[in-house]
Structure 1
Amino acid sequence: MESIVNTEQAEAWNGYEGRHWADHHDRYDATNSGFNEPLLESAGIGAGDRVLDLGCGNGQITRLAARHGRHAVGVDLSEPMLARARSVAAAEGVRNVTFERGDVQVHPFETGSFDVAVSRFAVMFFSDPVAAFANVARALRPGGRLAFVTLKDPAGTDLGKVLAAISGLLPGWQSPSTPDRPGPLSLAGPDRIREVLTRAGFAGITVTPVEAMAELGSNASDAAEFFSGWGPVHHHLAGADPAPVRTALEAVFRDFDDGNAVRLRNTAWLVRADR
């Protein structure tokens, strides 16, 4: 039986949050896939490389990594998303891929068994990031590479404008996370990223700002419905009147509707480090 120490996140990603991501995997990939190319380019995956995808979710990055390398292993806490990842990989005929349920912080990876570790917007959810990244470092061969993308602080960005439009309508709304607890913004600061990775045994750390367009829906109404289901918003809607929130979301998303889709410019840190 696998060991799980990040119990709060395991509960969330095996409950509503994980089901919503699994059920809407194509929508979340449309939101985040603009970062795939810079992430994979930074990882530099070669034909003989074994790749570890941290917090693989629905498995898009794992499948792409498998197409670049010899074999890719995706690890995640969420059974709903792992089931989706396996089904999509099978449908796409990607055979050199494996998906495992596990907590990266304590998962018993074979020492030095991977050449590259990657992650797209998942490492922010480690309950103890130093321990988790140290375990990843142990799983990488000497000279192995780590590459991931993590959210920047959304203040002043397109996403920040959307959140500002609804924060006053959601009881108890707070920033999705802070550096001292797991969540979307726990690794939003470059100094924090460097501190964590250095303590975990990584060197040659670079933190570079990157941007990509995120497609949230076909029009403002569609985007508002989808965004209302995003975990943090859905959670706070339980104690609020959804009508004003939905109206505010539709209004702000009209500013980003280009006539074909609602697209926001998303911002992130691209991080590269060596074992």
Structure 2
Amino acid sequence: MPEPISQVDYWNGAVGERWTTMQEELDRVFAPLTEALLAGAGLRPGERVLDVGCGCGDTALRAAGQVGAGGAVTAVDVSRPMLARGRARAEARAGSGAPVAFAPVAWIEADAQTHPFEPEHDLALSRFGVMFFDASLPAFANIRRALRPGGRLAFLCWRALPENPWVNVAREAVLSVVPAPAPSPPDSPGPFRFADGEALAGLLERAGFARVAVAAIDRDIEIGGDAEAATRFAVTVGPVSGLLRDLDDPDLRARAVAAVRAAMPGGGPVRLGAACWLATALVPG
């Protein structure tokens, strides 16, 4: 059995390139969830924000607009192609002549699990970036150390796979054609790592956070303008793409994609349920 790929290699390889290419589409699909995150984070003018796993910069750029010129945003990720897209978006916005005063954004290629951040941030936020830590407890403890006393944490992570039809509809269709993969080891990096909200709250408390709250967020997200577009999205992004990536038999792959297409509702835009946790917490002091 091949050695598992590291998260750094994973997000700097084909997956990172693909997510960079699909940046606009992904931001559109996840927009209702991003809005829920930013509303729950409660950004204030003048704050210093740390965006953990910033990807192509959607949340970092939105935060920069909300905290304004008196604030600052540090956007950190391990993915070079995604950071490059974030920087390019920031430069394009700066050159657009937009009247809104944005905070400066520092784009840092680093691993938030271990990077020695200055303890100066008012808020650490993340949209689906925290599920991929190698070791969650020390990673969250390091993020806590990046926050000043009284600082806040707010992030989105996925709830259980069966609660997320936007993934599970396509996954069940693929598994009607190809064998199910071996289960991942417990607490290994992956999108549904924090499906147990009670366990997640306990983890954050052990990492040194106080007033931890884990609230359910449910939204319908549009994964495609029609069934064909939704199928392309479903087999390109996330766990379903992993099921298809290593198939050597092109006919088997075509059958799996056809099964996904048959499972998609027709008659217009495809909207499926997405279920997340919005986790918030404070640093004591």
Deviations 1:8-39 (A, max 9, x none): 11110000110110000011112212112221
Distance of 2:243 and 2:204 partners within structure 1:
33
- Look up the match of 2:72: 71
Does 1:31 find its partner at 2:40? no
2:104 to 96, 107, 118: 96
**Partner of 1:88: helix, strand, or coil?**
helix
Relative to the length of structure 1, the TM-score reads 0.90
- Look up the match of 2:97: none
CA contact (8 A) 1:205 1:274 kept: yes
| Structure 1: runs of 5 or more not aligned | 1-5
Does 1:14 find its partner at 2:12? yes
The sequence identity of aligned pairs, in percent, is 38
- Look up the match of 1:163: 171
Distance of 1:114 and 1:164 partners within structure 2:
42
In terms of Rg, which structure is larger?
2
Aligned residue type for 1:73: T
- Look up the match of 1:173: 181
Structure 1 residue 168 displacement after superposition = 3.4
Distance of 2:178 and 2:26 partners within structure 1:
23
**Partner of 2:160: helix, strand, or coil?**
coil
| Structure 2: runs of 5 or more not aligned | 95-101
CA contact (8 A) 1:145 1:272 kept: yes
Structure 1 residue 152 displacement after superposition = 0.5
Distance of 1:230 and 1:157 partners within structure 2:
14
CA contact (8 A) 2:171 2:240 kept: no
Distance of 1:37 and 1:231 partners within structure 2:
21
Structure 1 residue 120 displacement after superposition = 0.6
- Look up the match of 1:245: 256
- Look up the match of 2:83: 82
Does 1:200 find its partner at 2:198? no
Greater shift, 96-105 or 35-44, is seen at 35-44
**Partner of 1:155: helix, strand, or coil?**
helix
Aligned residue type for 1:13: W
- Look up the match of 1:150: 157
Kindly report which structure 2 residues correspond to 1:193-232, keeping only aligned pairs within 5 A, or say none. Answer: 193-232=200-239
Q: CA RMSD in A?
A: 1.9
CA contact (8 A) 1:89 1:95 kept: no
- Look up the match of 2:52: 54
1:185 to 184, 192, 195: 192
CA contact (8 A) 2:37 2:155 kept: yes
CA contact (8 A) 2:51 2:60 kept: yes
Relative to the length of structure 2, the TM-score reads 0.87
Deviations 1:212-256 (A, max 9, x none): 222212211122122222253333322252211111111112x2x
**Partner of 2:123: helix, strand, or coil?**
strand
Kindly report which structure 2 residues correspond to 1:104-115, keeping only aligned pairs within 5 A, or say none. Answer: 104-110=112-118, 112-115=119-122
Structure 1 residue 71 displacement after superposition = 1.3
1:273 to 253, 273, 281: 281
Distance of 1:30 and 1:245 partners within structure 2:
26
CA contact (8 A) 2:170 2:240 kept: no
